[in-house]
Amino acid sequence: MLKPLAEIGVPDSRFQTLVVEDQNTGMRPMTVADHFAEIAAINLLPTVSNRVRTIFERGRNAFLYAWYVYDLTALAEAQGYAALEVALKERLAELPNRYPARGLGEQMQRASQEGLFDTFPLPPGNESTDRDGYFTQLTNLIRRFRNEFAHGTDYVNMPGAALDALYTCAALINHLYRR
């Protein structure tokens, strides 16, 4: 629901239950500065196209303002997937034997088959994992969430999960644009 005008600057109550670990004081309530630092730590390389960057920045800002409107985490996550989809379209268009890969899942599969993710670092603890199996699982997960958001849902991921999705999308985008 639309927040009342008098409450626009009041943090969403669902963020009041989140805590962070402070080296000096132990656990403490999360602040807007902590929230800002989490999203500010996710950056795209300078080589990423302006089109992709614009979409991704929309997601980062939505996540930042989710502090005040919790449901914006869904918009943030959706924009991360949209930026990844545009990045894949741009990079796949540069390959020889171009054929249209429809949808994000197909684009992820083609990028993987074309070797665009051959040197993508697997998450810590997964170094021995089968790379193809990892990307199949990642592709299925990303496709599922992207489709859920793109086709309309009332689902809102936990802020940490939405932040992880943005980290993952940024890592994949940066990998596609590394020089």
Domains of the chain: residue spans and CATH: 25-177 (1.20.120)
Does the global pTM surpass 0.85?
Answer: yes
Question: Which pLDDT score is estimated for 127?
Answer: 63
DSSP letter for each residue of the chain: -PPPGGGTTSPPGGGGG-EEEETTTEEEE--HHHHHHHHHT----TTS-HHHHHHHHHHHHHHHHTTTSTTHHHHHHHHHHHHHHHHHHHHHHTSSS-----HHHHHHHHHHHTTTTTTPPPPTT-TTS-HHHHHHHHHHHHHHHHHHHHT-------HHHHHHHHHHHHHHHHHHH--
The pLDDT of residue 14 is: 86
**How confident is the prediction for the chain on average, in pLDDT?**
88
In the prediction, which pLDDT does 98 show? Answer: 67
Stretches in the chain below the pLDDT threshold 70: 98-100, 126-129
CA-CA distance, 171 to 165, in Å (whole number)? 10
Query: What pLDDT does 126 receive?
Result: 67
pLDDT of residue 51: 97
